[in-house]
């Protein structure tokens, strides 16, 4: 599978399916015999039991998963850190951790917090900045519902303005009974200048790990062979 060693997973918004997409990517890569690490720079919402790294390991299997900083409140990292009175690692610290993981794994998947330009530290560093430092490629996760075309176009424009590579777009939560809006949006997203990598079912998180791993390659059927 001809994919870069470091892949950053970002979204057009929060709650679009980044964690499920990261887990599916990890499952596909691990299923081809690659060693995979997952890194989450900032995990918020720990007080509510949120742990994207743990969910990815549960679904994808034997992958390494680490988190840069864990924050209690379900807020953007800077706001959550202020409540917790916790110092946030800078982009350089995250980059060093990703490089260390890349030194002993075939692939490192980095899942962002919220959208591309959500600040990860008190100096205004974002996932886009981390991508620039690492010269990494991005997977963009979008929702299929109304409004997604504008959000997707804006995020792709921001990536392009920074000369960042985009592997493609994934619909992170495809409904079991899609309506005309969903089908229309999928058609438009499939005609963009960047590849359409596939769509994950809305109920993917409720599948057993075995069923999740079995379905991942079919969901992401646009990945390079």
Is residue 106 within 8 Å of residue 79, measured between CB atoms? no
Q: Is the pLDDT of residue 62 over 90?
A: no
Read off the pLDDT band of 2 (50, 70, 90).
confident
Q: Which residues are catalytic?
A: 40
Read off the pLDDT band of 1 (50, 70, 90).
low
- Among residues 106, 124, 191, which one has the least CA distance to residue 153? 191
The 10s digit of each residue's pLDDT in 134-172 is: 999 999 999 999 999 999 999 999 999 999 999 999 999
Question: What stretch of H or E contains 56?
Answer: helix 52-60
DSSP, collapsed to helix, strand or coil, labels residue 41 as strand
CA–CA distance, 172 with 214 (Å, rounded to integer): 17
Residue with tokens 């596939």: 198
C-alpha R_g of the chain: 16
- Which pTM does this prediction carry? 0.96
CA–CA distance, 20 with 216 (Å, rounded to integer): 10
Q: CB neighbours of 98 closer than 8 A, spacing ≥ 6?
A: 6, 39, 108, 110, 130, 134, 136
Is residue 173 within 8 Å of residue 20, measured between CB atoms? yes
């Amino acid at each position: 599978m001809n994919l870069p060693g470091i892949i950053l997973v970002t979204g057009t918004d929060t709650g679009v399916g980044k964690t499920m997409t990261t887990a599916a990517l990890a499952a596909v890569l691990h299923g081809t015999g690659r060693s995979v690490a997952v890194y989450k720079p900032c995990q918020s919402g720990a007080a509510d039991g949120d742990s994207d790294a743990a969910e990815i390991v549960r679904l994808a299997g034997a992958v390494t998963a680490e988190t840069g900083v864990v924050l209690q409140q379900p807020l953007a990292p800077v706001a959550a850190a202020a409540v917790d009175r916790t110092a946030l690692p800078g982009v350089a610290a995250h980059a060093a951790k990703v490089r260390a993981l890349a030194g002993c794994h075939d692939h490192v998947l980095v899942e962002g917090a919220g959208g591309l330009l959500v600040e990860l530290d008190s100096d205004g560093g974002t996932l886009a900045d981390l991508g620039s430092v690492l010269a990494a490629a991005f997977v963009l996760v979008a929702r299929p519902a109304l409004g997604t075309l504008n959000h997707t176009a804006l995020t792709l424009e921001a990536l392009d303005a920074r000369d960042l590579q985009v592997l493609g777009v994934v619909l992170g939560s495809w409904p079991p009974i899609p309506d005309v809006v969903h089908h229309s949006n999928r058609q438009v997203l499939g005609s963009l200048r960047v590849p359409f990598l596939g769509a994950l079912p809305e109920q993917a998180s409720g599948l057993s790990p075995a069923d999740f791993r079995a379905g991942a390659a079919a969901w992401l059927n646009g990945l390079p062979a």
